[in-house]
Amino acid sequence: MCGDRNNRSDLFDARTIGCIESAVNDRIQELDVFLRVADASSFSAAARGLDCSPSTVSKRIQRLEDRLRVRLFHRTSRVLRLTREGEKFLAGAHRVIEAIDEAETGLGQSGFEASGVLRINCALLLAQHQLSPLIPEFLERHPAMRLEFVLSAAPLEPVENQIDVSFQSGSIPDSSRVARRIATTRWGMCAAPAYLARHGTPRTVEDLRHHNCLNFLPGSFPNHWPLRDGAELAAHEIKGNIGSNSSELLRSFAVAGVGIARLSDMHVDSDIRAGRLVRVLEAFRADTEAPLYVVYASRRNLSLRVKAFLDFIVEKFGAPPAAGQAISSTTLPVT
């Protein structure tokens, strides 16, 4: 009888522990869903990251609100934003998840595998020439992840476009996000050997007036070329019969022998090495450098998939730089 009582006690303890574990895990999952929705201001964006339906996310939030007996979000057909109670709960939820993350990191393992969809926004040239050679290795390390590349000449609004990570150069205006500087690159002028054979190689800044210069459209990138003539640095207005907001298209026209283009070294380095393009007016190149940043949400408890991608990018860009790259791997606040 005593043995039966002990067995029943052991069974009771096992069931109790199982129920407690289930309840704790459920609450942690609710916090994770809440933080994702609060960060994205969208049920749909949060659902994409969790690889589930928006209705599932909405139900989890509703269940959390019912349990807390407060409304955490104001919901309209166009806007989803935190209530005052939601903002207060957000701070506490951050602390809980951060404590769990720090505890797991302290053990040297997270116990979870990075998975789900990661949406990346960057320019076409960067995706083609810098990221695409690296991605196969990343996916081999993280087979449960899916990457979606959203390409644009200018950075997209992250919440509206459900962007997890973006690559941006120059100034970063959004102070609500973190920008990590991963590289710097210089810009220079280049042309195809065939074009230079037909039209001659420019020797001075003044010579550019007699050449077809491929330029960015106003409002996309600076369309005045900063050139140094001795100690003087000035922005020169150039002329040509091709304009575009796409650096990849301008590069293609330059390779095809249409004219001279001013492009990032990072983007044309492979063309220079292969002989498809030749640098011109190097003595007049401005000494200014353009930083390249990887930009992401500012909250500390980033998803595992974002952390995995950031760690990988810093690792790869922190390797010995290719020609045209001066690597820096410093986390900077967005200014």
| Residue 127 domain flag | no
Q: Which of 81, 106, 131 is the last residue of a domain?
A: 106
Cα distance between residue 219 and residue 93, in whole Å: 41
Per DSSP, the three-state class of 216 is: strand
Amino acid at 141: R
Q: d(Cα 127, Cα 115) in Å, to the nearest integer?
A: 21
What pLDDT is stored for residue 213 in this prediction?
A: 95
23's tokens? 């309840």
**Would you give the distance in Å from CA 185 to the centre of its chain?**
18
Please give the structure tokens belonging to residue 49. Answer: 């990251």
pLDDT score, position 192: 98
CA 73/CA 79 separation, integer angstroms? 10
* Residue 297 covered by a domain: no
Closest CA relative to residue 178, chosen from 324, 330, 42: 330
β-bridge pairing 232-237 and 73-75: unpaired
Q: Which helix (H) or strand (E) holds 28?
A: helix 2-40
In a domain, 313, yes or no: no
d(CA 183, CA 313): 11
**Are both 102 and 190 inside the same structural domain?**
no
Beta bridge partners of 228: 233
Of the candidates 55, 79, 106, which is a domain's last residue?
Answer: 106
Q: Please tell me the total number of residues recorded for the chain in this structure.
A: 335
Q: How far apart are CA 117 and CA 85, in angstroms?
A: 30
- Count each helix (H run) and each strand (E run) in the chain, helices first: 10, 15
Domain presence at residue 102: yes
Contact call for residues 197 and 190 (beta carbons, < 8 A): no
CA 90 to mean position of chain CA atoms: 24
| pTM for the predicted model, two decimal places | 0.56
214 with 225: CB under 8 angstroms?
no
CA distance 89 to 97: 12
For residue 211, what are the domain limits? 185-289
**pLDDT for res 247:** 83
Q: Are 53 and 47 in contact (CB under 8 A)?
A: yes
Last residue in a domain, options 289, 315, 330: 289
- What's the Cα-to-Cα distance from 258 to each of 57, 153, 197, 254, 272, rounded to whole Å? 52, 21, 12, 6, 16
Answer whether residue 298 is part of any domain: no
* Any domain includes 207: yes
What is the spatial distance between Cα 111 and Cα 102, in angstroms, rounded to a whole number? 13
How many domains does the chain divide into?
2
Residue 157's contacts (CB-CB under 8 Å, 6 or more residues apart) are 163
| Rg over CA atoms, the chain | 26
Task: Return the CATH number at 216.
Answer: 3.40.190.10
The reply to whether 179 falls in a domain is: no
pLDDT of residue 81: 83
Residues of the chain with pLDDT under 50: 11-12, 17-18, 20, 108-110, 319-335
State how far the alpha carbon of 183 is from the alpha carbons of 42, 133, 146, in Å.
32, 17, 25
Whether 76 is covered by a domain: the verdict is: yes
